[in-house]
C-alpha cells in the first residue's frame, strides 16, 4: 500500500531547483540560487547563503522575479549579482555587513554576468549594445516604455542581410552585440573593453588585469563557425588572440599566476558530434597542449533533464598550485567530478551513478561544494574533499519528498542488432502490482548528441505516476559512450539509431512481462521528435504517439532553422543543393501515407531551432490524408518549452501528453 501520493503535473510549482554554488573567499560558506515556480506560475529565483559551520541557510534576496549569478568580492565583504527586479536584468551589489542591495547599472538593454577583478577594484559585466551606443548615458526604460518600443518595432519591416539573422534564444537578431564593460568601484565610471561587431563572452580575469573572453571575430563569422579566445588588458586595452588553431573554445580560466589558461573546446573533426577536449595554453612559451587526447568520454555536463534551470560551473577550474585542473565529465548515464594533472593524468574524484550538475572549489582548503541530482532527489549540495566521503549540506524539497512517491529507475543493458551495447532505464508505474499488465511509453531524447541518465526528470515521473511503464535509452548518437558511439548516427538518421530504440522496446517486452504489448506509446522532442515521426512512418507497433518540437522535412529545415544552413551538412553530409533526394529520403514527411498511429503534434510558435512550419507541414499532410492527428500550438514558446519555457505552458504541454496517451493506450 502506497503511503505517499503520486506526483502530478501541478507539482512543478511544489519543488525548488538549486544552481550556481559559489564558495566565499574564506571558505566558510557558499552562496547559491534557488528557483521555484510561484503561485502566479512564474519563475522566481532567490539568492541564499549557507554557513559551513552551523549549516544554517540564510535567504539574501526576497524580491519577485529572478536574482542570479552571485559573485563574491575578493575580500568577501560584498556580493555582486544580476536581478530583474527593476524590470530587466541589471547588476546589483549587496554588502554582506548589512544594508540593502544597490543597483549599479541602468543600461537600456540590461546587464548580465558580473565578475570581479582580482584586486576588487573593478566589476566586469556584459551589456547588449548597438555600435554607436554611449555607455555613459544609459537609462533603463520603464516597462511601459519597453512595451511601446517593442510594439513600434514590430510594425516596422525587418531588413535582413546576414546569413545568421535569428536564433532560438534571441529571436530575430538586430545590430546589438554583447560587449564587455568595466565598472570602477571607486569612481563609479564605466569603460568599454570590447567594441567589435561581434558577441563577446566573458571567461575570466588574470591577476594583472587581462580579461579573457571568447568571440568569433572572423570577417565572415556566419560562414566560419569558430570561437576563439582573446585577452584585453583593462589598463592598456591591448588585445591579444590566444587561440591559433581553428576550433571552438569556451569555459576558459586563468591559472592562479595568470601564466596558463585551461579551456574546453574541439576542432570539429566530427562536426557537432566531436567530443569536447581539455586544452592547456602556456602564455609564456606559447605552447598549446591537449590534456584529454587519450581519453574517450565527454567533458562537461551533457545530461538531459527538464528541471535544471540556471547555470552551474562545470569547469575547468585550477588548483592553487597549478598542478591540477578540475571539471565535470559525462559517462554512461552519469556525471562526475574529475581531476587531471598538467601532465594529463586523469583521476575520478567523485562519481556515483547520479548527476553532478555543478561545483565550486576552495583553493585554500582544497575542498568542494558539489550539486547533485538523482531520479528521486531533484537537487542538494554536498561538501567534498579529496579522499573523504561526501557530506550532505542541504535538505532541499524535504516536504515534497515526504509527500510524493518518486520511482527509482531500473537500469537495463542490451545488445543492438549489430552487437553494440545500449544502456537505458525503466520506471515501473506508481502503485505497481505484480500480475497486472500496464501500458508503456518510450521516451526518445533530443540532440541527438546528449544523454539521458540518473537525474530527476519531472516528465518521466509524471508518466509513471499516471500508470505507465516508462522506458528511456541512449541510442547511438548519444554522449557518454565515446567518440565512435556519439558519431555513429551522423549520415544515418533513421538507420541504426532507429533500430536501437526499437530493439530497446523488444528487450523491454521480453524481460518485463508486466508491459502490455498492445498498449505502447512513444514520444520525443527535437531529434526525439524526428525519431517519433520516423517511427510512425515505418511501424504500426505503437498505438499512440506524441511528437514535440519535431523535424518532419530536412529540405525546408535547411532554410528555416537558425542552425539549418550548417546542421544538415554536419549531420547528414548534404546541403539542400548537394543532394535534395537524400534529404527527402530521410524526411519523415515522405512516409506520411504509412502513418496509422494516432499522432499528437506539440510545437512552440516561436521555435526557431525546429520552426513550427515543420509541424504545420506534418499536420496538414496527415490531416489531408484523413489520418488521426491533432496539433497544439504554444504561443510565444521557443525550442526550450519543455525545459525552461513558461511554466504555465510547460504544464499545459504535460497535460496534453497525458491526455493523448489516456485516450489511446490507457
Which residues are CB-contacts of 155 (< 8 A; sequence separation ≥ 6)? none
Residue 560 pLDDT level (bands cut at 50, 70, 90): very high
pLDDT in tens, 602-660: 999 999 999 999 999 999 999 999 999 999 999 999 999 999 999 999 999 999 999 99
Whether residue 130 has pLDDT greater than 80: yes
pLDDT reported for residue 143: 85
Catalytic residue among 526, 550, 561, 587: 526
Q: Is 257 a catalytic residue?
A: no
In the chain, CATH 2.140.10.30 covers 17-192
Which residues are CB-contacts of 150 (< 8 A; sequence separation ≥ 6)? none
In the chain, CATH 3.40.50.1820 covers 401-552+587-664
Beta strands 324-331 and 298-299 are antiparallel
Residue 2 pLDDT level (bands cut at 50, 70, 90): low
Catalytic residue among 19, 255, 639, 642: 639
pLDDT reported for residue 566: 95
Q: What is the dihedral of CA 358, 364, 365, 370, to 10 degrees?
A: 0
Q: Is 29 helix (H, G, I), strand (E, B) or coil?
A: strand
Which residues are CB-contacts of 349 (< 8 A; sequence separation ≥ 6)? 326, 336, 337, 338, 339, 368, 384, 386
- Average the pLDDT over 464-493 and give the result: 98
pLDDT in tens, 575-591: 899 899 999 999 999 99
- Average the pLDDT over 176-199 and give the result: 97
Could you tell me the strand order of the sheet in which 122-129 lies? 111-116, 122-129, 177-184, 190-192
pLDDT in tens, 64-80: 999 999 999 999 999 99
Q: Is 272 helix (H, G, I), strand (E, B) or coil?
A: helix
In eight-state DSSP terms, residue 461 is: H
Q: What is the pTM of this model?
A: 0.97
Looking at the chain, the whole-number percentage of residues with pLDDT higher than 90 is 94
pLDDT reported for residue 98: 87
Beta bridge partners of residue 512, listed in sequence order = none
Superfamily of domain 17-192: Dipeptidylpeptidase IV, N-terminal domain (2.140.10.30)
Q: Are 133 and 103 in contact (CB under 8 A)?
A: no
User: Euclidean distance between the first and final Cα of the chain, in Å?
Assistant: 22
Whether residue 5 has pLDDT greater than 70: yes
Going from the C-alpha of 539 to that of each of 97, 348, 477, 618, the distances in angstroms are 65, 43, 21, 17
Closest alpha carbon to 22 in 543, 370, 306: 370
Whether residue 228 has pLDDT greater than 60: yes
Residue 1 pLDDT level (bands cut at 50, 70, 90): low
Residue 389 pLDDT level (bands cut at 50, 70, 90): confident
Q: What is the CATH topology of the domain spanning 401-552+587-664?
A: Rossmann fold (3.40.50)
Which residues are CB-contacts of 528 (< 8 A; sequence separation ≥ 6)? 443, 444, 445, 446, 548, 550
Q: Is 526 a catalytic residue?
A: yes
Mean pLDDT, all residues of the chain: 96
SS (H, E, C) 385-415: ECCCCCEECCCCCHHHHHHEECCCCEEEEEE
Residue 475 pLDDT level (bands cut at 50, 70, 90): very high
Amino acid at each position: 500500500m502506497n503511503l505517499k501520493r503520486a506526483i502530478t503535473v501541478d507539482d512543478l510549482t511544489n519543488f525548488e531547483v538549486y544552481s550556481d554554488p559559489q564558495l566565499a573567499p574564506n571558505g566558510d560558506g557558499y552562496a547559491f540560487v534557488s528557483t521555484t515556480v510561484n503561485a502566479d506560475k512564474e519563475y522566481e529565483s532567490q539568492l541564499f547563503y549557507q554557513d559551513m559551520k552551523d549549516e544554517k541557510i540564510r535567504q539574501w534576496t526576497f524580491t519577485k522575479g529572478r536574482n542570479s549569478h552571485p559573485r563574491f568580492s575578493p575580500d568577501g565583504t560584498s556580493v555582486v549579482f544580476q536581478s530583474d527586479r527593476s524590470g530587466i536584468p541589471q547588476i546589483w551589489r549587496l554588502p554582506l555587513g548589512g544594508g540593502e542591495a544597490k543597483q549599479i547599472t541602468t543600461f537600456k538593454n540590461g546587464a548580465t554576468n558580473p565578475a570581479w577583478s582580482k584586486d576588487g577594484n573593478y566589476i566586469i559585466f556584459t551589456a547588449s549594445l548597438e555600435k554607436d551606443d554611449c555607455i555613459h548615458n544609459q537609462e533603463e526604460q520603464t516597462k511601459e516604455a519597453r512595451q511601446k518600443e517593442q510594439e513600434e518595432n514590430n510594425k516596422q519591416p525587418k531588413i535582413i542581410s546576414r546569413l545568421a539573422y535569428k536564433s532560438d534564444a534571441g529571436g530575430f537578431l538586430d545590430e546589438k552585440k554583447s560587449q564587455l564593460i568595466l565598472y570602477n568601484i571607486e569612481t563609479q565610471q564605466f569603460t568599454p573593453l570590447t567594441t567589435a561587431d561581434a558577441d563577446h563572452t566573458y571567461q575570466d580575469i588574470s591577476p594583472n588585469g587581462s580579461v579573457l573572453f571568447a568571440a568569433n571575430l572572423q570577417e565572415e563569422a556566419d560562414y566560419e563557425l569558430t570561437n576563439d579566445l582573446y585577452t584585453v588588458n583593462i589598463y592598456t586595452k591591448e588585445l591579444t588572440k590566444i587561440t591559433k588553431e581553428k576550433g571552438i573554445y569556451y569555459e576558459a580560466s586563468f591559472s592562479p599566476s595568470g601564466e596558463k589558461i585551461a579551456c574546453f573546446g574541439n576542432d570539429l573533426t566530427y562536426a557537432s558530434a566531436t567530443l569536447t577536449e581539455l586544452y592547456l595554453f602556456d602564455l609564456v612559451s606559447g605552447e598549446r597542449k591537449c590534456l584529454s587526447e587519450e581519453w574517450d568520454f565527454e567533458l562537461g555536463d551533457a545530461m538531459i533533464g527538464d528541471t535544471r534551470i540556471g547555470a552551474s560551473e562545470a569547469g575547468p577550474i585550477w588548483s592553487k598550485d597549478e598542478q591540477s585542473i578540475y571539471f565535470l565529465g559525462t559517462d554512461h548515464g552519469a556525471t562526475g567530478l574529475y581531476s587531471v594533472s598538467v601532465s594529463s593524468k586523469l583521476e575520478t574524484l567523485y562519481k556515483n551513478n547520479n548527476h553532478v550538475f555543478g561545483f565550486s572549489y576552495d583553493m585554500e582548503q582544497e575542498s568542494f561544494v558539489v550539486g547533485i541530482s538523482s531520479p528521486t532527489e531533484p537537487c542538494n549540495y554536498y561538501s567534498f574533499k579529496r579522499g573523504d566521503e561526501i557530506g550532505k549540506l542541504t535538505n532541499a524539497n524535504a516536504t515534497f519528498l515526504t509527500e510524493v512517491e518518486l520511482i527509482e529507475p531500473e537500469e537495463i543493458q542490451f545488445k543492438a542488432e549489430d552487437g553494440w551495447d545500449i544502456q537505458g532505464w525503466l520506471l515501473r508505474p506508481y502503485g505497481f502490482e505484480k500480475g497486472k499488465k500496464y501500458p508503456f511509453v518510450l521516451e526518445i531524447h533530443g540532440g541527438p548528441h546528449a544523454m539521458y541518465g540518473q537525474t530527476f526528470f519531472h516528465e518521466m515521473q509524471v508518466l509513471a505516476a499516471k500508470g505507465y511503464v516508462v522506458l528511456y535509452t541512449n541510442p547511438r548518437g548519444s554522449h557518454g559512450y565515446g567518440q565512435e558511439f556519439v558519431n555513429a548516427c551522423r549520415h544515418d538518421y533513421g538507420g541504426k539509431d532507429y533500430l536501437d530504440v526499437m530493439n530497446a522496446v523488444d528487450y523491454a517486452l521480453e524481460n518485463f512481462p508486466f508491459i502490455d504489448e498492445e498498449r505502447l506509446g512513444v514520444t520525443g522532442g527535437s531529434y526525439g521528435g524526428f525519431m517519433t515521426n520516423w517511427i510512425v512512418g515505418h511501424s504500426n507497433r505503437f498505438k499512440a504517439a506524441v511528437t514535440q518540437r519535431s523535424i518532419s522535412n530536412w529540405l525546408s529545415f535547411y532554410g528555416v532553422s537558425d542552425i539549418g544552413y550548417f546542421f544538415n551538412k554536419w549531420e547528414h553530409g548534404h546541403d539542400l543543393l548537394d543532394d535534395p533526394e537524400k534529404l527527402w529520403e530521410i524526411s519523415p514527411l515522405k512516409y506520411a501515407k504509412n502513418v496509422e498511429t494516432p499522432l499528437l503534434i506539440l510545437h512552440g510558435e516561436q521555435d526557431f531551432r525546429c520552426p513550427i512550419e515543420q509541424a504545420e507541414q506534418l499536420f496538414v499532410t496527415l490531416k489531408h490524408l484523413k489520418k488521426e492527428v491533432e496539433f497544439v500550438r504554444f504561443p510565444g514558446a521557443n525550442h526550450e518549452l519543455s525545459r525552461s519555457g513558461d511554466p504555465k505552458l510547460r504544464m499545459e504541454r504535460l497535460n496534453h501528453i497525458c491526455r493523448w496517451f489516456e485516450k489511446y493506450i490507457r
